[in-house]
Chain A
């Protein structure tokens, strides 16, 4: 685990995870013999060398840091913020600035890419928190809407990718606060309690918000069936 401080408890990423759990880096750090494969070890050695060069304010190393890892960070942020893609560039830049500031704390226990994406995750969750901590005035009209639409009868034969495409389209079409709540809950795996703590709302209020968001999602799902 990197020493980069975050507001949220650490969670395993659903992709780009360190294939070895960073064990090889830890052993390198403690000076003990590395029991893992040399090829994996070399990957982390390269990351540590790159981080050290950036800390020396080597402009070429800084360029390489961006060149190697900007795609992964950008993809992650883009996916999490769609359809508000106009915010993606600023957040990606914030991620690299935060990473640069936190680089002295990078210990090599995870790959640089994993470490950068974990920073991106925190930035995205900060954005989710700000979105849902703000007054949800645009959702007031939904206050009286039934929390549950009728049961979803999905066509079992529908191709999975079609369903995913449809779900992504619905997420882009429902109020952004609802989509943010659903992404935060189901993509980032945060509980209502964690979301409540981050936004300053009560757990019950977050559960209500999630219930309305789910109902909206379901009703759109049925409409587009």
Chain B
């Protein structure tokens, strides 16, 4: 029988309400991996926004980005220092990694 009392019965609303409890927060590792992936895609599409522009737009830079932002060339400023940073490696692999650089996105994902 295709049509039974299920749809109009008591079980349907219970089933609909029985959405499993999900963890409140996504893991910091997954956020880090997604961020790295998106930056990789952005780099494939073209140069990243120069860091001095990001800073001028009100963004906070980490200590390494601050150094890169001081470089005179836009080409250099478009590079991604995270690619060679230990914070990225830690962030992608260790949950709540002990990264405490102010302005570092991986540290932010870890809640620091």
Contacts and interface: CB of A to CB of B under 8 A. Distances in A.
A148 interface: yes
A168 B19 contact: yes
Contacts of B49: 53, 56-59
Contacts of B108: 63, 67
Given A60-B60, A66-B109, A186-B12, A218 B6 contact: yes
Given A58-B54, A97-B38, A165 B18 contact: yes
A207 B42 CA distance: 44
A167 B57 contact: no
Contacts of B80: 59
Contact of A148 (B4, B27, B41, B60): B4
A147 B3 CA distance: 10
A6 interface: no
Interface residues of B, number: 49
Contacts of A214: 4, 6, 11
A132 interface: no
Interface of B: 1-2, 4-6, 9-12, 14-20, 22-27, 30-31, 33-35, 37-39, 41-43, 45-49, 53-54, 57, 59-61, 80, 82, 105, 108-109
Interface of A: 53, 56-63, 66-67, 70-71, 73-76, 78-79, 82, 89, 92-93, 96-97, 100-101, 147-148, 151-152, 154, 160, 163-168, 171-172, 182, 186-187, 207-208, 210-211, 214, 217-218, 221
26 contacts: A57-B42, A57-B49, A59-B48, A59-B49, A59-B54, A60-B59, A60-B105, A61-B59, A62-B35, A66-B35, A66-B38, A66-B109, A67-B109, A70-B26, A70-B30, A74-B22, A74-B23, A78-B23, A89-B33, A93-B33, A93-B37, A100-B38, A154-B14, A163-B17, A165-B18, A167-B17
